[in-house]
Amino acid sequence: MAVARVVEFEGVTQERVDELRTRMESEEGPPEGVPAKEMIMLYDSGSQSAVAIIFFDNDADYQQGDAALSAMGSDDVPGNRTSVRKFDVAARATI
């Protein structure tokens, strides 16, 4: 079963979102050590908060990715992490 890592951030500026978007668009694939299949970032400019949802094929990939992502420094994340949660992906569709 697919697994998602859902991370909430605060203190996220529009400039930081733009920087991350540009970097993600210029790189091929996820960061080293992160066997992710998809990533979605949601941003609320009014509260300067963001949610990142990263999808993995299975729990082993999640564990590897979680370790690598948790070790990232402040230059690699949108803002201050306020929570990190693991979810089973119960349903998924592009409509």
CA 54 to chain CA centroid, nearest Å: 5
Distance CA 9, CA 92 (A): 23
Residue 35, pLDDT score? 97
Backbone phi and psi for residue 29, each to the nearest 5 degrees, phi listed first: 85, 180
* Cβ–Cβ under 8 Å, residues 19 and 79: no
Predicted TM-score (pTM) of the model is: 0.91
Residue 28, pLDDT score? 84
Distance CA 80, CA 46 (A): 16
Domains defined for the chain, CATH in brackets: 3-88 (3.30.70)
Mean pLDDT of 21-27: 89
* Single-letter amino acid code for the residue at 17: V
Distance CA 76, CA 53 (A): 15
Mean pLDDT of 4-20: 96
If one compares 56 and 23, the residue with the highest pLDDT of the two is 56
